[in-house]
Amino acid sequence: MEEQPDAQITAVHVIDPSTAVYGEGGIYAYDALIESRREAAKTLLEDAEALAADHGVDLETETVVGQAAREIVEYTDENDVDRIIIGSRGRSGASRVLLGSVAENVARRAPVPVTIVR
């Protein structure tokens, strides 16, 4: 693997509000759900930062709310990103057709090279 000593690595976590389930309380329940997902993402990203630091890597983190592929591409456009590395769950068949593939949508729409990791 080629070393990039001046590279900045940013982990972007997207909270997709379309996956929220409305319950009693309507928009207030929605806001509470998004906030709880933000807290969970904060913990996840803090763990990632600590792991990266253990390996001598400075990791920046961001949490955004929106449709995942769109938000990743927008973040790329707005933050001078040179490459996207994105994970894939490896769905196939009907689940991929019905749910779509965030990684595939990002790869199609991104203005920079995309590496998809299973």
Q: What is the pLDDT of residues 11-57, one digit of tens each?
A: 999 998 876 665 555 555 778 888 888 999 999 999 999 999 999 99
CATH class of 68-118: alpha beta
And the tokens for 91? 């769905």
Domain with CATH 3.40.50.620 in the chain: 68-118
pTM: 0.78
Instruction: Report the distance separating Cα 41 and Cα 44, nearest Å.
Output: 5
In this predicted structure, what is the pLDDT of residue 6? 73
H runs (alpha helix) in the chain? 27-54, 68-78, 93-99, 102-109
Residues 82-116: tens digit of each pLDDT: 999 998 876 666 555 544 689 989 999 999 999 98
Q: To the nearest whole number, what is the mean pLDDT of the chain?
A: 84
